[in-house]
Chain A
């Protein structure tokens, strides 16, 4: 019998019932919930007159709407306050555990899952948020769902799902100096476009992936949704086990040994067949920056924006011109030296302790460029606490920045943290869509290191030639 991919092993272990060859009822091990995409799902339960089926498999936290200052005070903005209050009410009513504002485990849903050991290999994990793909870094099948599906998981602990195709992206070799995992994923998306992974579940593998820390792996899986993929995953290994061991909700004692024995089987067999394969040499990857309005519109930081004649097709050209018009850039413009107004460090992509360390290490002993406005936001209370224990907050503040409280913040600007119309923001978040960081805001995506360099110099800098 032909071998199975990692994806197929986890998927097959969760099929409760098959409606036909393609459509299955999939059991969901962990359901993560936040305030924006859940209220209508809870009302749905109420309308049906049913309870949550397995509330103990669900964990909730408010993250999209929370302010990043004065979290001890009531949320000032009325609609945000009401939505967060609604989450609390619903969790109490339906018996769901919630880490609310001020709780020591509060944070962005995709940051707290891994750091609390809730996220484990071989699980199926869903959340009403596309960046649920983050958790695939542990060898789980993790993907974003809509609110009707949030209701389905609350009501039945199951989802009706069409089985996606599988893709392997293998990256071998050693990364060059100054190249981070954010650059790997931005490079891949720039190669295959923001729709190149649609219909697929992607497994990232190869020596360059194996050499990465868990946090770096999470950044890659987080942004697998940005190439249209249903999710990304990485086979669990010793790095994974060491990360999980001892965390709050991780298996303990005999359970731990049993878990590791099972988790160690979760890898693609040598003769497993993928529907599509892509091979990348790590040496070809450079620090990346986006110039347009989707994450696929990225270039190596020392490159120029493409010229119109290199863009295929009439529709593509219309979209390309519209995008550059929004960004205030011209075809062929050089990215190096472009003036930046704002920097954003944080989000479920790069709001982890490792990201803060990279940023702090670069800015240590330097001063931020005078005109730069900054939003530096840890991904969770635990990240915030650890940063303070390591003195990163002091280094950041001595360089002229402010260290804030955790939340999604200016990644999608549902709270007060917004970039003003027309201004340029270099950001560690995952989306450069029009208006994503505030109406009219112009976002450039980059790694925490490239963001640090722009924060100090005030313009786009090649980190390989600075410091």
Chain B
């Protein structure tokens, strides 16, 4: 996993609530057996017409907006547990998703793939959307070490929460499995202590 400490970037606004993972990557694209290439089909049905031509009014097809940050509405990533959603966003490539609320499984999947979910207040999310609307070149600084997000042009800032352990993993590019593998003795001792029927 790639290390993440700070990021300064413009952002792409997707002002829709309840963006479910079926929209992020529709089920028919889940037949691959590798993790690569999902970015091409990110938001497939919102992004392309059935004939494959881009839908001009969708934000990923609007050259006004660019950057490594995706800003979504409340309850981002609901629905299916498919990790392919996190892979598609990361592959696009976005490195950060901002929302006022993330679905649990999506948040976990994102953190396991070097995609940082930044949860902000409803009010600050509104401020972010307005800032992008008034100037699409607005830059945001995501500082994982200090757990802050700042709108660089105005200095407005908010802190965000992240599990201390997952923060360490993101900063150092570690994953859970290496850590759990180091606990093999504890796992075996636990197994020995279990009730058996």
Query: Across the interface, do A40 and B34 meet the contact criterion of CB distance under 8 Å?
Result: yes
Q: Out of A64, A148, A156, which one reaches B83, CB within 8 Å?
A: A148
- Whether B187 and A148, one on each chain, are in contact in the complex, defined by CB atoms closer than 8 angstroms, is no
- A209 CB, min distance to chain B CBs, angstroms: 23
Which B residues touch A143, using CB under 8 A? Answer: 105
Q: Known contacts A40-B33, A148-B83; decide if A199 and B190 are in contact (CB<8 Å).
A: no
Decide if A318 touches B177 in the complex (CB within 8 Å): no
Known contacts: A149-B108, A195-B78, A316-B17. The answer to whether A433 contacts B103 by CB under 8 A is: no
Q: Given A37-B81, A129-B81, A157-B187, do A144 and B30 touch, yes or no (CB 8 Å)?
A: no
Say yes or no: B28 contacts A414, CB within 8 Å.
Answer: yes
Interface window among A79-87, A330-338, A343-351, A367-375: A79-87
A23-B163 CB under 8 A given contacts A315-B15, A433-B20, A435-B45: yes
- Determine if A199 and B20 form an interchain contact, defined as CB atoms under 8 angstroms apart: no
A130 at the interface (CB under 8 A from B): yes
The number of chain B residues with a CB under 8 A from chain A is 58
Contact B27 A414 (CB under 8 A): yes
Contacts A37-B82, A82-B33 known; A156 to B181 CB distance under 8 Å?
Answer: yes
Instruction: State the 6 A-B residue pairs at the shortest beta-carbon distance, nearest first.
Output: A146-B83, A144-B81, A39-B33, A146-B109, A79-B31, A251-B197
Assess A434 versus B45: contact at CB under 8 Å? Given A155-B181, A316-B17.
yes
B186 and A16 form a contact (CB under 8 A): yes
Chain A residues with CB under 8 Å of B18's CB are: 194-195, 294, 296, 319
For residue B125, which residue of chain A has the nearest CB? Answer: A315
Tell whether B4 is near chain A: CB-to-CB under 8 Å.
Answer: no
- Are B104 and A65 in contact, CB atoms less than 8 angstroms apart? no
Residues of A bordering B, CB below 8 Å: 16-17, 19-20, 22-23, 25, 27, 36-37, 39-40, 43-44, 48, 50, 53, 64-65, 79-80, 82-83, 86, 128-130, 132, 143-149, 151-152, 155-160, 162, 164, 194-195, 198-199, 228, 230, 251, 255-256, 258-259, 262, 294, 296, 315-316, 318-319, 322, 412-414, 421, 431, 433-436, 439-440
Residues on B with beta carbons closer than 8 Å to the beta carbon of A436: 22, 27
Residues of B near A147 (CB, < 8 A) are 35, 83-84, 109
Across the interface, do B113 and A318 meet the contact criterion of CB distance under 8 Å?
no
Contact in complex: A27, B190 (CB < 8 Å): yes
Q: How far is the CA of A445 from the CA of B151 in the complex (A)?
A: 42
Establish whether residues B186 and A17, one from each chain, have CB atoms under 8 Å apart when the complex forms. Answer: yes
A314 to B65, CA, bound (A): 22
Q: How far is the CA of A268 from the CA of B73 in the complex (A)?
A: 36
Q: Choose among A149, A160, A434 the residue with the greatest number of B CB atoms under 10 Å from its CB.
A: A160
Q: Are A195 and B101 in contact (CB under 8 A)?
A: yes
B113 near A17 with CB under 8 A, answer: no
Task: Select which of B16, B35, B177, B197 is within 8 A of A319 by beta carbon.
Answer: B16
Checking A146, A160, A315 against B81 with a beta-carbon cut-off of 8 angstroms, the contacting residue is A146
Cα distance, A27 to B195, chains bound together (Å): 13
